[in-house]
Structure 1
Amino acid sequence: MLKKPRRPTRFPRKILVAAVASASFATQMPAWGQQLEEVIVSAERRELLQQDTPISLVAFSGERLEERGVRDMFELSTISPNLDIKGARGDGNTAPTFQIRGIGTGAGATGERSVGFYVDNVFMPRTTGPVMRVLDVERIEVLRGPQGTLFGRNSTGGAIRVFTRQPDQERDAYVRVTAGNFDRSDITGMVNMPLNDEWALRAQVALTEQDGYVRRGPQKLGSVDDEFYRLQLGWEPDDNLSVNFGLLHTDSYSEGSATDMIQFNMNPVCPLDPSVQTYCLEGNYADWVSDFLESAGQPRLSHNDPRLLLDDFTMPDWCFLDGPDPDWDDMCLQSNSARYSQLDMNIEWHLSDTMSLLSTTGLSEFSSRSISDWQLMGMEARPGGVDSEVFYQEFQFNMALFDGWVDLVTGANYFKEDSGSPREALYQAIGSSVFNATTGGSAFGNQWGCAGSGTTGPLCSDGERRQRVISDGSSKQESIAYALFANASIHLTEDVNLTLGARRSWDQKDISSTLFAADNFVPQSGGSTTVSADDSWRATDWRVTLDYHLTDDIMLYATAAKAFRSGTFSIPAALTPTAARPYSLRPPLAAVPPEALRNNEIGIRSEWFNSRLRINATYYEMDFTNRQGASAAVDPSAPTGFAIRLVNQGDVEIWGTEIEALLAVTDSLTLEAATGSTNYKMGDVCVNNGLNLYPPPMDDSYTLSARYLFDTQAGNYTFTLSHAHTGPMQTHAGGFTPEEREYYGCSAFSASFIDSRYEVPSYDLVNASLRFEAASGKWSAMLYANNLTDETYANNAQSFGRGYWTQGGPGGVVGYSAPARSAVAAYRGRPREYGVTLQYNFF
């Protein structure tokens, strides 16, 4: 006889208080409302009720996501505490970062996330564009905390699993159109058709367009232009075998990330005391732009210059790539594009009443290209690109052993990716201001300048160039990983379950990086220099969980688990030529060891008052070791005086809570609340170059929502109102104040990054929707409004510190450095949006 799935023991005061308070509340609460809907999930690689799953997770049906105004993964994070999906520093939404409980790094062609992302069981290492949109979704599961045993490498933070609707034997077809402000126009069509008693076909097409909301010259940054195509074929010859084939293709284009400059600090005002400072440097970019403006007959830049800081959704339309005149030129156009294709096959075969085999096969291709301007002043065209080909195979056996006393999930998987960045170079406008960290360079000029002769880029009238081409290079990487795993749930009694899991993983990577001749690189021979490296790693992940049912409706659990993230490589900056060595020297690639994360977690899953009130609470503590992170390191040979490298940043302690509550007040009214918090302590703040964990977690977040249903003879109405609060967030490791530097004993170099410290303010979003479904079921309509209060906010930001202003950077030659200044760029969230969605069902 099969026993109940599982349950745990002790929990901290905060969780205990929540449980006792909920019990007290339940005893006083009148018997209103219907029972809450039971949610089935597969977080344990087998179907269980969410309330019986001893993992911290949230699950949303496609219908609930639509009612809450969630159109993509970025918006999913606003209703999922301790989940954060946002644009990356510099690249914005072109390279989204995923974080769960403050764990999540990795981008570019050779970086890997710490949060696993799966669509129909297929692992996707790189994600952007329409794949991020919520289309024809059956449900989404967000698994919080390390999932190394069942989901393997690179899931130290957790995993996000997207399940699309599959073909079935019901005839179904619809067309859905959406129109809204910012010229939003979406059209989606779906058809599900049984071909015979065994075969069924499901096809979907979606075209979505919407203007951006930050204006820069002729562009509207943050626009959407996506195409989405999916074809699925299902075969079910009998009750024991089902096979689903899938084909997915997406194309995406947008006019750059919605970035706005909100601060331009030019204090203290030049000149400084000449007896102390030989030259008062505005800083390279500030000085160059001032030179260009002065050459065009305009005043030089000033503190918080109103020509730069316009309104919250307008950037200056300057472009200096074509010359010193600031008038717009299409050379400064920004763009993001991505293409993704996937073939997949899922087989589920019930071999007997107690054994089943699941097989997942996936083959995918991904390509993205972008042009951005990190400085936001029309000074550069910075390309970015990633190409990736992935093959993924997993076999999984589910077995009930010993007359149902043990449920075993075991199997093996294989992953191979060939990824790379195409050859690309950064194109910059430069003035006559040149400053070198080693020699001190020359004083700043006050005119449009040409920075020396060269072989690339437009020439000045005197034969010299106004632009420079730097960082001309490419990279490629081959990653191979395979693993064996097993997870056994032992039902010690009808109320007590012990889960033991283990995974043995093998990882291998081969990487190469090529630099071509450019203004900041001179090859030793020929036109390029390539460095390469390879390494392999082994790891064992494990999990121990004990869960205990106090009653049929209250489960306690405790778990300890360990997961790892694959090792990687750091690509050091090239050493500049010297008199004795007239070429650039490339240091060897440096291996960065794998990350490891150990999680201790306790929680309660409870339902009260005849399943009308649900309260779930979790407390976790995590030890994060060998954290991989980008960090600035002293590099006298670099033009800036420092270089950004991927390094082992030591250990971090992370702890926090997740609490969710759901109440069916009446048959028509349901209330929901959820909150999460993440706290941390850095092991070595000096190596980290600051007190803050980066990429940054949110300090806290919570959501509140209400759902009201009412019926009429004409049809059913559903009204949804939600409020999401996102707490403040640091955007950089942050350097040190003089007091902090003295207390921690860090170097002056680490302290110099204080001008990069910036905290994104908290913000609150209110969404509302009213949906009507005709009694005939033939059509429906929905009015929606997102960000109802029209709050102006940023979901990320970047403070460009002294390295942005002075080519000498932190630790520059005495007498030749700029004051501690900064410019802050904010990644704007969408303003108020509203519109209507109409759907017609053909069957």
Structure 2
Amino acid sequence: MKPCTARTPLFAAVAFASAMSSPTLVAQTDEPGFALEEVVVTARRRSESLQDVPIAVTAFSARDLAIRGDSDITELAQSVPSVTLEPSRATSSTLTAFIRGVGQQDPLAGYEQGVGLYLDDVYLARPQGNVIDIYDVERIEVLRGPQGTLYGRNTVGGAIKYITRRLGDEFSGRLKATYGEYDQIDLVGTVSVPVSDAFRIGGTVASFQRDGYGENKTTGDEHYNKDVFAYRLSAEWLPTEDLLVRLAYDDTTDKSNPVAGHRVRPGAVSGDPVLRDIYDTTAGAAENISTQGIGGNNEVEAEGWMVSVDWNFGDHYTFRSITAEREDYTESVIDFDSLAVDDFDAPVIYDNEQFTQEFQLLYNGEKMNLVTGLYYIDADASNDFDVVLGQLGRAAYGAELTAYTGGKVTTESWSAFADLTWNFTDKLSVAVGGRYTDDKRTADVLRASYLGAGGSPFFGNDDALFLGASSDYQAEESWTDFSPRVNISYLWTDDITVYGGYSQGFKAGMFDPRGANFLTPAVEEGVDPETLDSYEVGIKASYWDGRAITNVALFYSEYTDMQVPGSVGIDTDGDGINDDFAGTLTNAGEAEISGIEIEGTFLFTENFSMQVAASFLDAEITEWIVNDVDVSDDRSVQNTPEEMAYVAFNYLTGAFGGDLNLNANWSYRGDSTQFEFAAPVFDQEAYDMFNASVVWVSASEAWLLGLYGKNLSDEEIKTAGYCFGNESYCSPLGFEDNTSIFYAAPRTISATVAYRF
């Protein structure tokens, strides 16, 4: 298959841009007929065709994303098999990610994610601020299955790589403005300046603003709104053709209003009715005395810098160094009761820092390709929060009852990895890899109860009356592991590759930063590491004279000691009423996850194409021992629908002196459970989603005009929830029957104007 040279990239030209992650569709003009363009990825640390990579990987180019109008990375899940990406509960910018049944939906300190997110090869250890808005992007790659022998942090479920645009050797810039429903106004400006032949600088400034989908009836504020400002600065130095030094700094501030869930029943004491609009709320925590310690503030600040060095020496060798530091700070208002009263409120602070250093040595030859390296991470993650039970405290003690929790978890880890691919023949290749990891975690946890308006002393209430502690401990533990990988690929014909392999994922043990060791001393021991053994076979085929591509992967995984966090109300004084809040972090014994994943692109004519994707999963917990009883029949794998499907149609035609691209797509997701148990109120039933876009690019490729419609059928899609009401499967806390649900965006229409110079 030959790459097409019919058009140079605009927004990298709309010309037959793929509506999903598959190869870009471009008519070939230098030879008879037409075919799909080759897509180049770096999933194996070298540039190669997507069709030659013998693993399950999906790639989105900048033009793919421009045609779809994707605003942040959660929208990728509509078209990638076996992937769930959602904002975490009570937040707009904390990421919950699952791939093939592996993930983590609790953002607390020490809870390491099962899916690795990388920004320009830098692993982002914490989920706060990781619902990344899509701008200044060159490519996004989604790798499914365990990763760790090629780069970065070992991840069990898979990895998402967000790769920003390189600076050009000529002065250039881009301006983009979007206006949409709910007064959405997005503005992005980018510039690249070559200071000399060897040195370039550039930057991007972005503002993402939107009114809420609903209204806070108590405060009058917008609800589910967006208020994000971000910028990136970068510089590239190329003193020789074999040496590249890249520096980058990014900063994001999210001042979106607090998000509260939709109550499913009236307030049990207040009598407040269920609101008709699922996006409205009467949450009053931001104005209550319960959150005065943070001034009712709801804000996320995240920043980081990175220095990378690529040195090509000799004919086949490359040395790479990636040094990075990141930090984020969050003040968050959580209103568990979603009512004006302070029945169950929480001011929360997350404070995270990380330093990472990675060294790689790469060899690329005719018979052999080798990646070997060292990775180090030193990360501190802390959370501090008050759980304020106002009505319960006043009824029992005559004053607000506050349960304060402060938890800090430190991770220090180093690892050595290597992955060798040997080409035995022009058709047969065998890859063997391994990773040795040494992880050490320390935890410092304090939990205590207080009486008095305004919360605990940590949040500024020095007059609070100390009632007693439920947890006070420090702990430390280390784990080591060796994770192997083997992969065999065979070029069946010039257009068909078959492969099979085995890989193992590992995630070190954890401590629960909400654990109550006085009640349950075992929390000081933490939980065991989890491992996943994954077996995969697949076929990647190009046919129909290069006008069709179909990629199929079948996998089977054995998941051992899966780490499952949760939270419950607890009764500290034995009166039958829960008056405190504690974490539950457990190891599920065994789970088996298997499935088939399909992706395809079909170019029917020079103007008309179709893309498809689907996955069919069987995810089952096979062993979970509680008090010597196997309860696995009553447990489920979270956030993992059994089936998903995606179909997109694209039509390109000339219009108004340019190219007009018409796109329509449909996605389907099957039933999924929110928690590790069936919870009918929270669980999302199967649903369809329809999106469409009309994008025009001028003949000079300087202008782009786009019209985008998302969730056109206006589906009400549950993304998360709080289970503290009176359902049999919930753990009641507070007086108001506190069950609430969070929802994805409703139907939206937006228009974009972009100009490149």
Question: 1:614, 1:663 within 8 Å by CA — same for their partners in 2?
Answer: yes
Quick check: 1:613 aligned with 2:548?
Answer: yes
The correspondence of residues 332-481 of structure 1 with structure 2, limited to 5 A, is 336-378=298-340, 379-400=343-364, 404-422=366-384, 424-431=385-392, 450-452=395-397, 464-465=398-399, 467-470=400-403, 472-481=404-413
Report the Cα distance in structure 2 between the residues aligned to 1:130 and 1:118, rounded to whole angstroms.
Answer: 10
How far 1:766 sits from its partner (Å)?
1.4
How far 1:40 sits from its partner (Å)?
0.9
Report the Cα distance in structure 1 between the residues aligned to 2:500 and 2:578, rounded to whole angstroms.
Answer: 49
Question: 1:321, 1:380 within 8 Å by CA — same for their partners in 2?
Answer: no
- Aligned twin of 1:691: 634
Quick check: 1:706 aligned with 2:649?
Answer: yes
Question: 1:166, 1:202 within 8 Å by CA — same for their partners in 2?
Answer: no
- Aligned twin of 2:78: 78
> For residue 307 of structure 2, what is the amino acid of its counterpart?
M
Q: Deviations over 1:38-80 (max 9, x none)?
A: 1111111222111000110100012211211211022121221
**Which secondary structure state, in structure 2, belongs to the residue aligned with residue 830 of structure 1?**
coil
Question: 2:335, 2:346 within 8 Å by CA — same for their partners in 1?
Answer: yes
- Aligned twin of 1:831: 746
Moved more, 510-519 or 627-636: 627-636
How far 1:212 sits from its partner (Å)?
1.4
Question: 2:369, 2:422 within 8 Å by CA — same for their partners in 1?
Answer: yes
Q: Deviations over 1:84-112 (max 9, x none)?
A: 01233x54545321100110015212211
Question: 1:690, 1:733 within 8 Å by CA — same for their partners in 2?
Answer: no
Q: Residues 334 and 619 (structure 1 numbering): CA distance in 2 closer, same or farther, change over 3 Å? A: farther
Report the Cα distance in structure 2 between the residues aligned to 1:397 and 1:72, rounded to whole angstroms.
Answer: 33
**Which secondary structure state, in structure 1, belongs to the residue aligned with residue 150 of structure 2?**
helix
Q: Residues 499 and 806 (structure 1 numbering): CA distance in 2 closer, same or farther, change over 3 Å? A: closer
Residue 703 of structure 2 is aligned with which of 779, 784, 788? 779
- Aligned twin of 2:590: 651
How far 1:647 sits from its partner (Å)?
1.4
Report the Cα distance in structure 2 between the residues aligned to 1:397 and 1:766, rounded to whole angstroms.
Answer: 45
Quick check: 1:728 aligned with 2:728?
Answer: no
- Aligned twin of 2:123: 123
Report the Cα distance in structure 2 between the residues aligned to 1:339 and 1:511, rounded to whole angstroms.
Answer: 24
**Which secondary structure state, in structure 2, belongs to the residue aligned with residue 640 of structure 1?**
coil
The correspondence of residues 147-186 of structure 1 with structure 2, limited to 5 A, is 147-151=147-151, 153-186=153-186
Report the Cα distance in structure 1 between the residues aligned to 2:77 and 2:154, rounded to whole angstroms.
Answer: 19
Give the structure, 1 or 2, with the largest relative contact order (CA under 8 Å, sep 6 or more): 1
TM-score by length of 2: 0.86
Report the Cα distance in structure 2 between the residues aligned to 1:163 and 1:603, rounded to whole angstroms.
Answer: 26
Question: 1:130, 1:252 within 8 Å by CA — same for their partners in 2?
Answer: no
Report the Cα distance in structure 1 between the residues aligned to 2:307 and 2:730, rounded to whole angstroms.
Answer: 54
Residue 478 of structure 2 is aligned with which of 536, 552, 564? 536
> For residue 208 of structure 1, what is the amino acid of its counterpart?
F
Q: Deviations over 1:495-541 (max 9, x none)?
A: 01000001111111111012345259999999997410011110001
TM-score by length of 1: 0.78
Report the Cα distance in structure 2 between the residues aligned to 1:236 and 1:831, rounded to whole angstroms.
Answer: 47
How far 1:313 sits from its partner (Å)?
2.9
Report the Cα distance in structure 1 between the residues aligned to 2:442 and 2:195, rounded to whole angstroms.
Answer: 46
**Bigger fraction of residues in helix:** 1
- Aligned twin of 1:640: 578
Q: How many residues align?
A: 704
Question: 2:608, 2:650 within 8 Å by CA — same for their partners in 1?
Answer: yes
Moved more, 631-640 or 245-254: 631-640
> For residue 693 of structure 2, what is the amino acid of its counterpart?
S
Question: 1:244, 1:345 within 8 Å by CA — same for their partners in 2?
Answer: yes
Q: Residues 601 and 32 (structure 1 numbering): CA distance in 2 closer, same or farther, change over 3 Å? A: farther
Question: 1:361, 1:394 within 8 Å by CA — same for their partners in 2?
Answer: yes
Residue 793 of structure 1 is aligned with which of 717, 720, 725? 717
Report the Cα distance in structure 2 between the residues aligned to 1:176 and 1:32, rounded to whole angstroms.
Answer: 37
How far 1:257 sits from its partner (Å)?
2.6
**Bigger fraction of residues in strand:** 2
Q: Residues 569 and 666 (structure 1 numbering): CA distance in 2 closer, same or farther, change over 3 Å? A: same
Q: Residues 693 and 526 (structure 1 numbering): CA distance in 2 closer, same or farther, change over 3 Å? A: closer
Q: Deviations over 1:275-307 (max 9, x none)?
A: xxxxxxxxxx72xx2xxx4xxxxxxx4xxx8x2
Report the Cα distance in structure 2 between the residues aligned to 1:430 and 1:162, rounded to whole angstroms.
Answer: 46
Report the Cα distance in structure 2 between the residues aligned to 1:826 and 1:633, rounded to whole angstroms.
Answer: 17
- Aligned twin of 1:110: 110
How far 1:400 sits from its partner (Å)?
3.5
> For residue 98 of structure 2, what is the amino acid of its counterpart?
Q
Quick check: 1:69 aligned with 2:69?
Answer: yes
Report the Cα distance in structure 1 between the residues aligned to 2:685 and 2:469, rounded to whole angstroms.
Answer: 48
> For residue 100 of structure 1, what is the amino acid of its counterpart?
I
**Which secondary structure state, in structure 2, belongs to the residue aligned with residue 66 of structure 1?**
helix
Report the Cα distance in structure 2 between the residues aligned to 1:604 and 1:560, rounded to whole angstroms.
Answer: 15
Question: 1:565, 1:596 within 8 Å by CA — same for their partners in 2?
Answer: yes
- Greater Cα radius of gyration, structure 1 or 2: 1
- Aligned twin of 2:21: none
> Could you list the runs of 5+ residues in structure 1 that have no partner in the other structure?
1-30, 265-284, 294-300, 324-328, 433-448, 453-463, 577-583, 736-754, 810-817
How far 1:132 sits from its partner (Å)?
1.1
- Aligned twin of 1:601: 536
**Which secondary structure state, in structure 2, belongs to the residue aligned with residue 661 of structure 1?**
strand
- Aligned twin of 1:236: 238
The correspondence of residues 130-149 of structure 1 with structure 2, limited to 5 A, is 132-149=132-149
How far 1:767 sits from its partner (Å)?
1.4
* Residue identity (%): 27
Question: 1:113, 1:154 within 8 Å by CA — same for their partners in 2?
Answer: no
Question: 1:572, 1:589 within 8 Å by CA — same for their partners in 2?
Answer: no
> For residue 405 of structure 2, what is the amino acid of its counterpart?
G
- Aligned twin of 1:563: 505
Report the Cα distance in structure 2 between the residues aligned to 1:575 and 1:236, rounded to whole angstroms.
Answer: 55
Question: 1:332, 1:380 within 8 Å by CA — same for their partners in 2?
Answer: no
How far 1:169 sits from its partner (Å)?
0.2
How far 1:425 sits from its partner (Å)?
1.3
Report the Cα distance in structure 1 between the residues aligned to 2:731 and 2:236, rounded to whole angstroms.
Answer: 60
> For residue 441 of structure 2, what is the amino acid of its counterpart?
K
> For residue 671 of structure 1, what is the amino acid of its counterpart?
M
Report the Cα distance in structure 1 between the residues aligned to 2:718 and 2:295, rounded to whole angstroms.
Answer: 23
> For residue 410 of structure 1, what is the amino acid of its counterpart?
T
How far 1:733 sits from its partner (Å)?
2.8
**Which secondary structure state, in structure 2, belongs to the residue aligned with residue 683 of structure 1?**
strand
RMSD across aligned positions (CA) = 3.3
Quick check: 1:496 aligned with 2:458?
Answer: no
Question: 2:149, 2:433 within 8 Å by CA — same for their partners in 1?
Answer: yes
How far 1:840 sits from its partner (Å)?
2.3
- Aligned twin of 1:191: 191
How far 1:412 sits from its partner (Å)?
0.8
**Which secondary structure state, in structure 2, belongs to the residue aligned with residue 568 of structure 1?**
coil
Quick check: 1:545 aligned with 2:487?
Answer: yes
